[in-house]
Structure 1
């Protein structure tokens, strides 16, 4: 069984968010997938069951849990698949639903992948939930940007979105893993999407992923899609919108995610990026 390793949302193996990819996981059960993901140690490893005609069953495992959808591992899987089968249109069947994915070859020869999320949703975060979250993160209410009110957003997985206007606040990420994991498990949150708005269309993001056994995702495609849904729902961007989400530089793994937000609230959010191999022929024994 070959476990490919790709860095997504970057053009350099030392940047982006690493993902494991198993292009043919036919016959593997959840226990085996979880064990492989734990050995690989990345925030996500994607396991593919080919169904033919560009249709793929895909499951996503972190070192400690399975998640319904993962954006960066989807981009990595699509690029890896294109490397073997050529670019084109794919249909990912995930636990979150159907996710169309397309790959094209750019002028420099890199493979670019675009996914379209399942139908997004948003919900209010309660005062108690927000208070508990801020306490675990070590934030105070005064750290929040009043122009970007806290909310929980979904585009395949649930992510609280909390914003600050201060780079120093975003740069200072310290929290108790067990406490945050317990809180997130209680509410079904996959990552905490902490953001800062640089301009009308550029955002900086950090994503804590305590339930997966990972302090932080260097780049979270699912979180970026949820951010697009959040901004659309609250009328905080002009539509249609082309956004840039920058993340990972606090971890030394700079990442760039392109997000397209259509006008229709029922339409999925598009997330685009490339991915590059971290190792040429990695193999899990």
Structure 2
């Protein structure tokens, strides 16, 4: 397939301040000539967990339409690709506020210069929600993960949380359990497709203000995400639903460490607001 010249793909690593960390994302800043099949083909060729496509743009109003594709399918929202696109745009039109129309709803992002050659982006999610996972959902996921119920932290119950997409949240009892991830790819894919989960958000609580996370993403054709902004937003809603945040709390999430791609996500959760703010840097990946 031949793609229009405007389909040139930029590559950024999100939620890191150096290319060797974070989650790589493809960014196409002018995707208006592309149809869905072409965007999917571009994403498959890039091979990252997501590539984001700017399908319409109004630079004067700083408003854009974004679509997100994994190598296998379109997804409604992707946090790390949104951060990557925001930094790419800020580098070209200047830092400031951005507004995105996505399949998940309107997403607002603040971008600021944060030192020489570095831009920080903060996205505000759509309203989050979280519900207790059903026993059958948990059992099926644990079987595919090759985990047992004793591997879970009873103080952090399993939930299905939403922050633009739905994610199953499972809390590991120990850091060692989180580090030892060897799941059945096909089995977990099947479970996630049945329930409509975008990732399984595996977490371990180091302290009240710091968590470690891993996100299997087999439904996107990717074993694991090094940083997952949408899941971080959903996790903020999970903590809010459980009453584990105060009027306004800031939580640090460390992800990708066990993959050799350390990523840092900061979430701001308000007990009175269902929206969650997710902050991180993004940097170009040298070609």
Partner of 2:284: 277
Partner of 2:4: none
CA contact (8 A) 2:52 2:69 kept: yes
Partner of 1:183: 191
Q: Give the Cα separation in 1 of the matches to 2:42 and 2:12.
A: 16
Matches within 5 A, 1:224-243: 224-243=232-251
TM (norm. structure 2) is: 0.95
57, 73, 77: which one aligns with 1:69: 77
Q: Structure 2: 5+ residue runs without aligned partners? A: 1-6
Shift of 1:161: 0.5
Number of corresponding residues: 279
Question: 1:32 and 2:38 equivalent?
Answer: yes
Q: Give the Cα separation in 1 of the matches to 2:39 and 2:131.
A: 32
38, 54, 68: which one aligns with 1:60: 68
Question: 1:16 and 2:12 equivalent?
Answer: no
Query: Over aligned residues, Cα RMSD in angstroms?
Result: 1.0
173, 194, 214: which one aligns with 2:222: 214
CA contact (8 A) 2:245 2:271 kept: no
SS in structure 1 at match of 2:191: helix
Matches within 5 A, 1:1-285: 1-52=7-58, 53-266=61-274, 268-279=275-286
Q: Give the Cα separation in 2 of the matches to 1:138 and 1:148.
A: 19
Shift of 1:228: 0.6
SS in structure 1 at match of 2:232: helix
Deviations 1:222-268 (CA, angstroms, capped at 9, x unpaired): 111111100011012333110100010100000000100012143x1
CA contact (8 A) 1:4 1:279 kept: no
Q: Structure 1: 5+ residue runs without aligned partners? A: 281-285
